[in-house]
Structures are given as C-alpha cells and as structure tokens.
Amino acid sequence: MDIAGMRRDYDGVELLEENIHSTPSQLFEQWLEEAVAAGVTDPNSMVLSTVSPSGTPSSRVVLAKDITDRGVTFFTNYDSQKAHEIGANPNVSLLFHWAELNRVVRIEGRAERISDEDSDRYFDSRPRGSRLGAIASPQSQVIASRSVLTDKIAELEKSEEPIKRPANWGGYLVRPSSVEFWQGRPDRVHDRMRYRVDGAQWVKERLAP
C-alpha cells in the first residue's frame, strides 16, 4: 500500500484576522454549528490527551457535553486512567477534527472536576442504559470477559432502587489557555489562528502552516 502517495488538496473558507470573533468560544460555537449543519458524524467528539506521572502521553476519544466561555466539559469514571492522570497532572489537550470541513480545533488547558450537583444533573439526563453502563463498568480495569459487564447490568436491571450517579463518576471542565483554529487551504498553505490567554485577555495571532 502506497501510504506516501495518499494525498488530497484542501479547500475551505479563508480564516482572516478581521473576520473572526474576539473570543475563541464564539468562533468555536460557529464552527460547531457549521459541523452539525454539514452532517459531521459525532461533531462533539474530541481527542483528550493526558500525561502519566512518568511522562507517558495517552489519548482517547470522548464526547464534549458542554461548551461555554469557561471551557469544555466531559464526563468519565473518576477511577479511569484519564482521571488518575489528570489528578497527577491537570494539564491536558483536546482536539476536534471535522474532516468534512477540513477543520481542526486544538485546545490546551487545565482540567478540574465540576460540582457534584452539575454531575448529578447530567447523569440524570442520560438514557437509562447509559446510566446502568456507567455504574457497571470498572473503567480501564482488566476484566475476564464481556459477561462481567452484561451480568452486572442484568443484576442492576432487577433492582427497584433509583439509578443514582455513583460517587466515582462525574465531569471535568477544561479551562483553556490556548485555542487554535486550523482551516485547510489549497497547496498546504493552511490558515492557523490561535487565541492565547494573556492576563485577563485573549490575544489573537496567526501561525505559519
């Protein structure tokens, strides 16, 4: 297979300094809406990268569940690998890739747990099966077989107790310090605009492709 020969040209709307918003959250919201309108599959999916105490990076795909001026929120098991690594080093990166629009958003920042009340509110909004799955799964741990999960879910299904959020499951807010918007352009002369925190303000700057 000729991987080296795999290439295509990129095209997209110019990303110019005079046409972008003053804060990254505004531009991100615009791009997300355009990704939804373009029919992008799972437009809120993102790659979350963390670093272990020994310095080993790891990445996985998670879903963003809230995006505001404060940052990006996702949910997970607090006993998972990602949660343990965030506990040791809260510096993380996020990456959104909308291939249909030739766009990438890269976010660097610090992750912090959200309140129990906010985690409860989101957990209660999830479909019943998703709530049971979150309770049943010892995320990131080695298990003997899939039946470990299905048997536990079947057991939970028999219970008449309310399905409450387990204490080891909840949300993180990633507060960004840097947000880069990448727009694919012809001949690899891509547009890269970065917002960077400088004191209490966002500074906009263009990066070479």
SS3 assignment, position 189 = coil
Q: What is the DSSP string of 44-86?
A: TEEEEEEE-TTS-EEEEEEE--EE-SS-EEEEEETTSHHHHHH
Query: Angle at Cα 52 formed by Cα 46 and Cα 56, nearest 5°?
Result: 85
Burial of 111 (0-12, 13-18, 19+ CB in 10 A): buried
What are residue 201's phi and psi, to 5 degrees? -125, 160
Q: Which residues contact 108 (CB under 8 A, 6 or more apart)?
A: 91, 92, 93, 176, 177, 178, 179
Would you state the structure tokens that stand for residue 91, as one six-digit string?
A: 């510096």
Alpha carbon distance 93, 110 (integer Å): 8
Give the active site residue among 70, 121, 128, 188: 188
SS3 assignment, position 172 = strand
Active site residue 188: yes
Would you state the structure tokens that stand for residue 112, as one six-digit string?
A: 């912090």
Please identify which residue in the block is written with the tokens 């747990």. Answer: 113
Residues carrying an active site annotation:
188
